Amino acid sequence: MKRLQFAGVVLGLLLVGFLVCIGTFMLANKYLMSASDADANRCKGRQGASHQIVYRNGIATPHHIQAKLCDTLTITNLDSQERLIAFGPHSNHISYDGVSERLLTQGQSVTVTLIEPGTYLFHDHTDYSLSTTGNFTVTQ
C-alpha cells in the first residue's frame, strides 16, 4: 500500500512539474513574442507608399529613401553579380521586418514593410564600396 501511495505522490509531482513547465513556456512565449507581434500588427490593414532601391552597374539608387511608417521598401538587384543585402553596418547586421540578410541574384528583390521608425543602413555585404550602401528613414 505504501508503494502505491508513493507512486501516486511521484506521479502527482511529475504532473504538477509538467503543468508548471507548460505554463511557463506559454507565458514566456506570449511576452517574448508580444513586441514582434505588435510591430507586425502595427501596419495590418494599412497600406503606405511603395519605395524602390535598384542595384544597377554596381550602384544602389537612390542612396537615401525618406518614408513613413507602414510604407514598403523593395530592393532589386539588376546586376549580373549576386548581392547579399544586409541591414545595419557591415560589422553588426540587424534584422528589419524579420530580414537581416538576403541573397539576391539578377532580377530578384526583397521587400520589407517599414514598421520601425528611425534611420537604417542597408548594404551589399559582399562589396565594401560606398556605392552599394545607403539608408532609409522612417517617420511617423
What was the pLDDT predicted at 5? 73
In a shared domain, residues 6 and 75? no
Q: pLDDT tens digits for 79-135?
A: 999 999 999 988 889 999 999 899 999 999 999 999 999 999 999 999 877 789 999
In a shared domain, residues 77 and 120? yes
In a shared domain, residues 60 and 119? yes
- Number of domains, the chain: 2
In a shared domain, residues 63 and 33? no
CATH code for position 54? 2.60.40.420
Q: pLDDT tens digits for 110-126?
A: 999 999 999 999 999 99
Domain of 133? 50-139
In a shared domain, residues 62 and 130? yes
- Distance separating alpha carbons of residues 19 and 96, to the nearest angstrom: 36
Rg (CA), the chain: 24
Order across the sheet with 72-77: list the strands: 59-61, 50-56, 72-77, 109-113
Are the C-beta atoms of residues 79 and 106 closer than 8 Å to each other? yes
Least confident of 17-26, 29-38, 96-105: 29-38
In a shared domain, residues 55 and 78? yes
In a shared domain, residues 71 and 131? yes
In a shared domain, residues 122 and 55? yes
